[in-house]
Chain A
Amino acid sequence: GESVGLHLPTLSVQEGDNSIINCAYSNSASDYFIWYKQESGKGPQFIIDIRSNMDKRQGQRVTVLLNKTVKHLSLQIAATQPGDSAVYFCAENRGNQGGKLIFGQGTELSVKP
């Protein structure tokens, strides 16, 4: 069925390395995507978003890439720091379904010092 999913449940990286977290979606009607970071016991924190009319967007140390051809989304974190350790979720807004977000299962990022 339709879903937003992540390729890997866990990702371990060395401090200072770059991290790449991937996400696949299946609904071509989706036109807005958000990446969230969730630390243990806290609510999801907005990181970056991208609309379907773009293929790349950059923030501070983060870049989101959108490949509509293969329905793939990725979050790149440059110079990963211990404070980046958290679970990362991609979320999808399906334009014909109003404002609700469809979340993936999450990838747990662990940064080794």
Chain B
Amino acid sequence: NAGVMQNPRHLVRRRGQEARLRCSPMKGHSHVYWYRQLPEEGLKFMVYLQKENIIDESGMPKERFSAEFPKEGPSILRIQQVVRGDSAAYFCASSPGWNEQYFGPGTRLTVT
């Protein structure tokens, strides 16, 4: 019973490049959440998706960030034209409903 999968685990991008983070939810889970964590801080909600739908994107920056969860394949968090302030750990969680959420190992993004 595989848990939530995220890749890559580590990603290095130069300023101005694009970052694509992938998340495969647990089997049977149709709800996906993305969170961002800065060093020594708690996780901050970014976006909540169900298959082909964005349910809540109230935590997403207005520009450069987008997310999708297509009918087939993983959920993607996309950051265009990355800046140093985007450096963080990005975690994906999945849930069978709106309650307990199970987290993946995260993608650590470093912008140089």
Contacts and interface: CB of A to CB of B under 8 A. Distances in A.
A83 interface: no
A5 B41 CA distance: 11
A98 B55 contact: yes
The A interface is mostly helix, strand or loop, or mixed, namely strand
Nearest to B4: A43
Given A43-B91, A46-B102, A106 B42 contact: yes
A15 interface: no
Interface in A66-113: 89, 91, 93, 97-106
A24 B55 CA distance: 28
B25 interface: no
Contact of B48 (A91, A99, A105): A99
Query: By CB atoms of chain B within 10 A, which of A93, A99, A106 has the most?
Result: A99
Interface in B96-112: 97-106
B45 A102 contact: yes
Contacts of B105: 42-43
Contact of A105 (B41, B97, B102, B103): B41
B52 interface: no
Contact of B98 (A36, A89, A98, A102): A98
Nearest to B101: A101
Interface residues of A, number: 22
Nearest to A9: B40
Given A43-B105, A43-B106, A99-B31, A49 B100 contact: yes
18 contacts: A32-B99, A36-B103, A42-B106, A43-B105, A44-B91, A46-B101, A46-B102, A89-B43, A97-B56, A99-B56, A100-B33, A100-B58, A100-B59, A101-B43, A101-B101, A103-B44, A105-B42, A106-B41
Interface of A: 32, 34, 36, 42-46, 49, 89, 91, 93, 97-106
Given A36-B103, A46-B103, A100-B58, 15 more contacts: A34-B101, A43-B6, A43-B103, A49-B99, A91-B43, A93-B98, A93-B99, A98-B56, A99-B31, A99-B55, A99-B56, A99-B95, A99-B101, A103-B35, A103-B44
